[in-house]
Structure 1
Amino acid sequence: MAASALDIATTLIRCPSVTPEEGGALAALEALLENKGFRVNRVTFQDDETPDVENLFATIGSGAPHFVFAGHTDVVPAGNASDWSHGPFEGAVADGVLFGRGAVDMKGGIASFAAAALDFVSERGADFGGTLSFLITGDEEGPAVNGTVKLLKWAEAQGHSFDACIVGEPTNPSALGDTIKVGRRGSLSGIVTVTGVQGHAAYPHLADNPIPGLVKLMAALNALKLDDGNERFEPSNLEIVTVDVGNPAFNVIPARAEARFNIRYNDTWTLDGLKQKITETLEAADLGSLKLDLTFKRDASESFLTNDEALIATLTDAVEAETGRRPELSTGGGTSDARFIKNYCPVVEFGLVGQTMHKVDECVAVADLDRLAAIYKRFLDGYFGHIEA
C-alpha cells in the first residue's frame, strides 16, 4: 500500500471530532489527499436550528465514470474516558487491535478507502480513465442537516455527476465479508400530543384528562400491522419510544400528554402514504373533547434498493477474492447517509465489523483494516477496468 490504513486510522482517531466538532480530522485528510494530487475543498454549511458543520470534497482524475467513496469523520461522544482500556482518542494498538472512538464507525473505513485510493492512484497515475472522489461529512452522527445532503447539492452545483458510490459504514455483523448493504428501510418519526384541561385530581368533572386519550392512541398505533415484508425487505415496524406528561404532582390532572414514535418501513410504503396511514389511524380514535396534534419530524427518509449489477458484482467479487466469503446482500439495519446519496447515483455500503461501534473500547483488528483496504483497492481496479487475477 502507498499509505498504511493503520497509520491513517490512528491519525484520525487522535482527532477528537465529536459531532459537530471537526477536531482536526478533515484537516488531516485534506493534507494527506492534497499531497497525493487530489483537489480538495473544505465546505461549511449553516442552518438556523443546528450547529455549523465542516465537510470535505476531494477529487482526482477526469471524465466518466465518476466513482465516489463517502463517509463521516464525526463520532459519538466517548462517555467516561476512565471506562476505556485505552484513551478513546489515543489511537492505541494492543495485541493487533486498534482502539479508539471511531475505529469502526467510521474512521477505520475512511482510512481503508483512503489507503486503497492512494495506492490505486500511485499505481495508475491521475489519468486512470475516470474520476475518483471523496465525499466526507462531519454531520452523520448529528442532525444530518449540514452534512452529506448539502454537500451533494454543492458538488452537483460545481458540475460533478456521480456514477456510483460506496459508503464505508460498518456493515458486517460478525466477520469481514459477511454483508453488503444494497438498500435500507426508510425512517419516519412523529410526535403525538393530546391536550385536555388541567385540574384537581379530586374534582375530575372540572378537568379533562389527556392521558387516557393518549393511551387509546398508542394502543391503536401498537396494534397497527403495516405489512409482512417481502423478498427484499423485512417487515416494517412501529415503535413507541417515549411517553411524557411532565407532571410531578399526585393531585393534579395534567393539561397535556405526549408520546413519540419511530417507524422503520420498507418499499411497500411511500413516505406520503405512510404519513396518511398514521394520520387516519389516530384520527379514527374517539377522543371526545380532547384535542389531538400530530407532528412528523423533518428528518424522515425513504426506503431504497440499489439494483446496479455492475457496482454490486464488482464489489462482491472483490470481497470474495480477499476474504473467501460471498457476502449476503442485505437491506437490514438502520439508516445512513446512503439515503441522501441514492438520489444522485447507485450506492451500496460496505465496511468493517460493527460489533463495537458506539461502545466503550470501540476497536478494530489491524488485519481487518488492511484487508478492507485490499478489498477497496481490488474494487477500484475492477471498476476502472484494471481487473487483476
Structure 2
Amino acid sequence: MTIYTPLSLAQSLLRCPSVTPEEGGALAFIEGVLREAGFEVHRPVFSEPGTPDVENLYARSGSGRPYLLFAGHTDVVPPGDRARWRHDPFGGEIDGGELHGRGAVDMKGGIACMMAAALAFIRERPDFPGSIGFLITGDEEGPAVNGTVKLLDWAKARGERFDACILGEPTNPERLGDMIKIGRRGSLTGHVTVEGKQGHVAYPHLADNPIPHLLRLLGALVAKPLDSGTAHFDASNLEVTTVDVGNPASNVIPAAARATFNIRFNDLWTPESLEGEIARRLREAAGNAVRYTLTMEPTNAVAFLTEPNDFVRFVADAVEAETGIRPKLSTTGGTSDARFIVRHCPVVEFGLVGQTMHQVDERVAVADLDRLAAIYRKVLEAYFPA
C-alpha cells in the first residue's frame, strides 16, 4: 500500500482545477487512493433543474458501529486574475515552508489531512471496531443543491447511519488550535418594496415619495435588537445590504423604492418565526400610510448546535494535546455544509487557519498540515480505543 503524507495528498488535490461545479480530477484522485486502501467508494452524480450536475464521493471502510464520518468539499472558488498570484493557483508549489494554491485551506488541505490520518490509522489497526467514512462534495462553494444535502439522503436511503462527523472547514482564525465550530447561525434574506407615486419634485403634493417611507420601515427593522444571544450564540443581527431606486433624474420623485436585508440568526429563531417577527415590525411601522410588499427568499441555512458532548471533548482534547491550546467552542462565521450533516448525526468543524481562504495567494503552512493530520489521528484513536 502506498504511503501518503498530508503534503503529497494536498499537492495532488491542489493540482486539480476543481472550480465549482467542475470535478477537475479531485474526486477521481481521492477515489483511487481510498480504493487502494480498501474503502468501498461510490461516485453519485446529482441533478436539479436550473443548476449544474455535481459529482460527489462517498467511501466507507468497515461495517460496524460506531461510525465516524469525515466530510468536506473539493470544489473551490475561482482564482481570479492569475497574474496577481505569486505561484500558479493550481500548481501546488511550496515557498518558504508554505503550500500555495486555490483550496490550500478551503478545504483541500483539510481533506488531505483527513485522508492521511485515516489511512495511517487503518494501516496500523486494520481490525479496528467500527467504520470510518468520507463524504465529499463538489458543490459547497456553489448553490449547495446537488452536493452534501443530496449525498446524505442518498446514503440514508442505502441504510447508512453515522454516529459523529468532523467537517474539515478552516475554523481557526489565527493559529491552529484556536477554534472548533459546534454550530452555525442561520441565514435569511428578505426584500421590501415600497410603492409610491411618481411625480415632479416641484409638485410633491401631486406625488408620493416612497423613499422616506422605505427609510421608516428599515428603521423599524433595526431599531430594536432581535435578541441578546444565547449561551453558545451571539445575538442575531439584521443588516440592510442594498437600497435601490433606479432613478436617473434628479427632478423626478420615483415610483418605488426597494431594499434587501440579510439576517444571521441564532437558535432562538426558525426561518418561519423570524419572518413573522419581520412582518410584525413592518406592519406596525407602516400602519395605513405605506403601501409595501415583503418577500422572503427560501433558505436551507438554519441555526444548529451540537451540544458539547464526549465527541466534542475528543476533538478538543486532541487539539490541545497536539497544539497546547484549548480551542474555543464557537458558532461564529457564515454557513457551511454542517447545517445538512447535523440532521443525520452530531457534527463539529475543525480544520486549518482560514486567513487566506478565497484570497489571492491562498496558502497553508506545511507544518500545519502535519499537525492537523496528527490531530485527526488522535481523534480516531480516542473514538476507537484499542
For Structure 1 versus Structure 2, the TM-score category normalised by the shorter chain is over 0.9
Residue 240 of structure 1 aligns with an amino acid whose one-letter code is V
8 Å contact kept, 1:243–1:258? yes
1:150 pairs with 2:134: no
8 Å contact kept, 1:2–1:122? no
Aligned mates of 1:190, 1:77 — CA distance in 2 = 28
Aligned to 1:214: 214
Aligned mates of 1:2, 1:178 — CA distance in 2 = 30
1:69 pairs with 2:70: yes
1:232 pairs with 2:232: yes
Residue 103 of structure 2 aligns with an amino acid whose one-letter code is G
Residue 148 of structure 1 aligns with an amino acid whose one-letter code is T
Cα deviations by residue, 1:76-133 (Å, 9 ceiling, x for unpaired): 12111111111111111011100111100111001100111111111122x4211111
Q: 1:279 to 1:300 in 2, by over 3 A?
A: farther
Deviation at 1:337, TM superposition (A): 0.8
Query: TM-score with structure 2 length normalisation?
Result: 0.95
Aligned mates of 1:51, 1:133 — CA distance in 2 = 26
Consecutive unaligned residues of structure 1, counting only runs of 5 or more, are: none
Q: 1:226 to 1:382 in 2, by over 3 A?
A: same
Residue 103 of structure 1 aligns with an amino acid whose one-letter code is A
Aligned to 2:115: 114
Aligned to 2:335: 335
Deviation at 1:211, TM superposition (A): 2.1
Aligned to 1:381: 381
Deviation at 1:308, TM superposition (A): 5.2
Aligned mates of 1:195, 1:44 — CA distance in 2 = 45
The SS at the match of 2:239 is strand
Cα deviations by residue, 1:359-386 (Å, 9 ceiling, x for unpaired): 1111100010011001101111111123
Aligned mates of 2:50, 2:199 — CA distance in 1 = 35
Residue 16 of structure 1 aligns with an amino acid whose one-letter code is P
Aligned mates of 1:147, 1:184 — CA distance in 2 = 19
8 Å contact kept, 1:185–1:334? yes
Aligned to 1:31: 32
Aligned mates of 1:90, 1:240 — CA distance in 2 = 40
Deviation at 1:205, TM superposition (A): 4.5
Deviation at 1:347, TM superposition (A): 0.5
8 Å contact kept, 2:182–2:308? no
Residue 282 of structure 2 aligns with an amino acid whose one-letter code is L
Aligned mates of 1:81, 1:203 — CA distance in 2 = 54
Cα deviations by residue, 1:25-58 (Å, 9 ceiling, x for unpaired): 1111112111211111112222223222211111
8 Å contact kept, 1:186–1:335? yes
Cα deviations by residue, 1:263-300 (Å, 9 ceiling, x for unpaired): 11122223322111111111212265653221222124
Q: 1:47 to 1:291 in 2, by over 3 A?
A: farther
Deviation at 1:208, TM superposition (A): 3.4
The SS at the match of 1:57 is strand
Trace 1:250-265 onto structure 2 (pairs within 5 A): 250-265=250-265
8 Å contact kept, 2:188–2:299? yes
Aligned to 1:50: 51
8 Å contact kept, 2:118–2:377? yes
8 Å contact kept, 1:71–1:110? yes
Aligned to 1:94: 95
Identical pairs, percent: 62
Deviation at 1:262, TM superposition (A): 1.1
Query: TM-score with structure 1 length normalisation?
Result: 0.94
Aligned mates of 2:95, 2:270 — CA distance in 1 = 48
Aligned to 1:307: 307
1:174 pairs with 2:171: no
Aligned to 1:356: 356
Deviation at 1:164, TM superposition (A): 0.3
Aligned mates of 1:71, 1:181 — CA distance in 2 = 14
The SS at the match of 1:188 is strand
Aligned mates of 2:201, 2:21 — CA distance in 1 = 45
Aligned mates of 1:234, 1:308 — CA distance in 2 = 17
Deviation at 1:184, TM superposition (A): 1.5
Aligned to 2:7: 6
Aligned to 2:188: 188
Aligned mates of 1:50, 1:293 — CA distance in 2 = 28
The SS at the match of 2:56 is strand
8 Å contact kept, 1:88–1:101? yes
The SS at the match of 1:315 is helix
8 Å contact kept, 1:8–1:111? yes
Deviation at 1:145, TM superposition (A): 1.4
8 Å contact kept, 2:139–2:146? yes
Aligned residues: 385
Aligned mates of 1:239, 1:300 — CA distance in 2 = 19
Aligned mates of 2:157, 2:195 — CA distance in 1 = 46
The SS at the match of 1:88 is coil
Aligned mates of 1:160, 1:171 — CA distance in 2 = 27
8 Å contact kept, 1:5–1:369? yes
